[in-house]
Amino acid sequence: MYEAKEFNLSRLNGISDRTLEMHFKLYEGYVKETNRLTEAIAEILEDGRVDQEEMPAYSELKRRLGFEYNGMVLHEYYFGNLKKDGGEDPARNSAFLQAVESSFGSFDLWKADFTSVGKMRGVGWAICYLDPLHGQLSNHWVTLHEVGNVAGFVPVLVMDVWEHAFLLDYKPAERPKYIEAFFSNLNWQTVEERLSAFASTIPTHSISHDGKESSI
Ligand SMILES: [Fe+2]
C-alpha cells in the first residue's frame, strides 16, 4: 500500500497556498485510488483466477490503474521539483546543463521547447525525460496522466498543466503566466539529483551558448 508523501511547500511565487492545499488533496486522492484498485484486483485474484463473469470488472480496474498510478507518481515528481525561493537557472557545470546542451544545443532552446509543450491545448503534463541509455533529454506532452509517457525514460522535470494546477490563481487563458511562476519556483537541485544516477551516460562534450564546442 502506498502512503501519501508530505511536501513542505508554501508561500511559493505565483502559486498560492490555496492552490497547493487543494492540489495536495487531489494527489492524496490518487494515492487512495491506486491502493483501492490494487486491493480490488487482488480480491478478484484471490481464488487464483479471473472468471469469465469477473473479466469486465477486472479489465476496467486494470485500465484505470494506469491513470491512477501515473496520477500519483507524476504529482510526486511535480511537487518534488518545486521549492520556495527556487528558480535560479541550473549551475553552469551541472549534469542537467550538459545534457541539455548535448540534446538541444542550448538551455534557451530546451526551455522554449519545454514551455511550448506546457502551452499545448489539452489536459496533461509537460515532462522532460532522460533517456538513461544514451544520456539525451527530450520534452514530451502527456495527455491525462498516462498517455505519452515513454517506457524506461526517467522524468527529470515535471510540470502539471491541468487547469486545477493554476485556475485559482490565473484565468484559463493565462497558462503562460503559471508556467513562468512554475519556473520561478523550480528546485534545480532535485532535477540534478534525478540525473545523477545516470550521469555517466551523459555525453561529456558540451556546446556553449556562443555555439563553440568544448570539452568538460
Ligand atoms: Fe495536478
- Which residue matches cell numbers 527530450? 138
Identify which of 93, 112, 90, 106 has the alpha carbon closest to the alpha carbon of residue 207. 106
Q: Name residues whose C-beta falls within 8 Å of residue 87's C-beta, 6 or more positions apart in sequence.
A: 13, 183, 184, 185, 186
Ligand 1 center from residue 190 Cα (angstroms): 19
Ligand 1 center from residue 66 Cα (angstroms): 15
Instruction: Give the per-residue pLDDT at 205.
Output: 54
What 3-state DSSP class applies to 213?
strand
Ligand 1 center from residue 31 Cα (angstroms): 13
- Is the pLDDT score of 36 beyond 50? yes
Ligand 1 center from residue 133 Cα (angstroms): 29
Alpha-carbon span 166 to 119, nearest angstrom: 13
What 3-state DSSP class applies to 61?
helix
Identify which of 175, 51, 79, 194 has the alpha carbon closest to the alpha carbon of residue 123. 175
Instruction: Give the per-residue pLDDT at 149.
Output: 97
Q: Which of the two residues, 97 and 209, has the higher pLDDT score?
A: 97
Alpha-carbon span 75 to 111, nearest angstrom: 21
Instruction: Give the per-residue pLDDT at 83.
Output: 96
Q: In 46-166, where does DSSP find H-type helix?
A: 55-80, 95-104, 107-118
Whether the pTM exceeds 0.95: the reply is: no
| pLDDT tens string 95-149 | 999 999 999 999 999 999 999 999 999 999 999 999 999 999 999 999 999 999 9
Ligand 1 center from residue 164 Cα (angstroms): 6
Instruction: Give the per-residue pLDDT at 82.
Output: 98
| pLDDT tens string 149-194 | 999 999 999 999 999 999 999 999 999 999 999 999 999 999 999 9
Ligand 1 center from residue 153 Cα (angstroms): 21
Ligand 1 center from residue 161 Cα (angstroms): 7
